[in-house]
Amino acid sequence: MSLSSSQLLFLSTLFLGTTLSVSSTSWFGTWVGLELNLLSFIPLISTKNNQYSSEAALKYFLIQALGSSIIIMSASFMLLSSESASFLMVVALLLKSGAAPFHFWFPSVMEGLQWPQAILLMTIQKIAPMSLLSYTVSDHTFSIFTAAIVLSALVGAIGGMNQTLLRKIMAYSSINHMAWMMAAILISESSWLIYFLFYSAVSSSIALLFNHQEAFHISHVLNHTGYSSQLKLLTFMSLLSLGGLPPFTGFIPKWFIIQEMVSAGFFSVLAILLASALITLFYYLRISMAAITISSPKTKWSSKTSNSAYLTPSMLWLNSFGLLTPSLVALII
């Protein structure tokens, strides 16, 4: 997909806003970076080809503006009570990142986006709120962190079970992975960064596969019998990797977080995270297994297989990385 000059400009200011928020030495600087990031993302998701993009852009703007106003309000509370200010700051950042219990906007916004914009929302747009959340970890905010982790794990797992739209499934999957990232924040800043990098790579690979197949509904994956079995197997492996099934790449960061949480004594939270991961695997398997088993060459209606020549080897290596080099990755981590 070619980018116009205006899209390149907004994409550069998007990264600039994220960088400003993460590297700023004051909360005012982080607020300015978040606003720059917001104003850059709105034009990127507003496209003429998608009739739902305007609705998604409006929803995203209103929610992010609400989060920014709560951040400003929490700054005024810093003069009165540091505990209230920290609580409001965490609430605002959870709202901006789309974590439960403030997740209500995330699936509906994802539904109105194309896959490239959805990749930005699932990955780049989470960097600044998650980085700022890592700065707010304290004894005063530990309870709300724990509640957000548990709720995000349950909502992300249960909410995706009755969905048939692929973008909503990916949205609830992202909410579930947010629980793992917030648990990693409680451990250390480097832990959530490692998890986020692996999650971004795997989720982006799946979104690119769906974009290549022009699939937005489960039925699209089932009916695209013109695609090669190799591409279907690749989609199957990618979804298992996103679910964190060993020995695929997505299991590596979860393995690391499990070890750290056991060492820290977070057994109850870890049990909920592991149970939710098993539930997410159910609706990943529902997509991939049906796409592989319900396949008949007599019902072909799409035969776009030539463009997957460059896509297949890179995605195969990415999602088999944990299978091929587990000892090397464990040594690096």
The predicted structure's pLDDT at residue 1: 54
The predicted structure's pLDDT at residue 305: 45
DSSP per-residue letters across 144-155: HHHHHHHHHHHH
Domain ranges of the chain: 5-332
The predicted structure's pLDDT at residue 307: 52
Closest among 180, 175, 172, 216 to 198, alpha carbons compared: 180
Neighbour count for residue 318 (Cβ, 10 Å):
20
The predicted structure's pLDDT at residue 223: 66
The predicted structure's pLDDT at residue 296: 47
- List of the chain residues with pLDDT < 50: 296-306, 327, 329-330
- Whether 268 and 327 have beta carbons less than 8 Å apart is answered as no
| CA gap 109, 60 in Å, rounded | 7
Count of positions (residues) in the chain: 333
Per DSSP, the three-state class of 217 is strand
The predicted structure's pLDDT at residue 285: 85
Q: Which helix (H) or strand (E) holds 296?
A: none
What six digits make up the tokens of 299?
């019902």
**Bridge-partner residues for 165, per DSSP?**
217
User: Which string of b and e fits 271-309 if b means at least 16 CB within 10 Å?
Assistant: ebbeebbebbbebbebbbeebeeeeeeeeeeeeeeeebe
Q: Where are the beta strands (DSSP E) in 182-244?
A: none
- Collect all residues with Cβ–Cβ distance below 8 Å to 19 and sequence separation of at least 6: 33
The predicted structure's pLDDT at residue 300: 44
The predicted structure's pLDDT at residue 38: 93
The predicted structure's pLDDT at residue 303: 43
The predicted structure's pLDDT at residue 298: 45
The predicted structure's pLDDT at residue 227: 57
DSSP 292: H
| CA gap 204, 318 in Å, rounded | 11
The predicted structure's pLDDT at residue 164: 86
Does residue 246 have a cis bond before it (omega within 30 degrees)? Answer: no
| CA gap 187, 250 in Å, rounded | 19
The predicted structure's pLDDT at residue 22: 92
High-pLDDT (> 90) share of the chain, %: 47
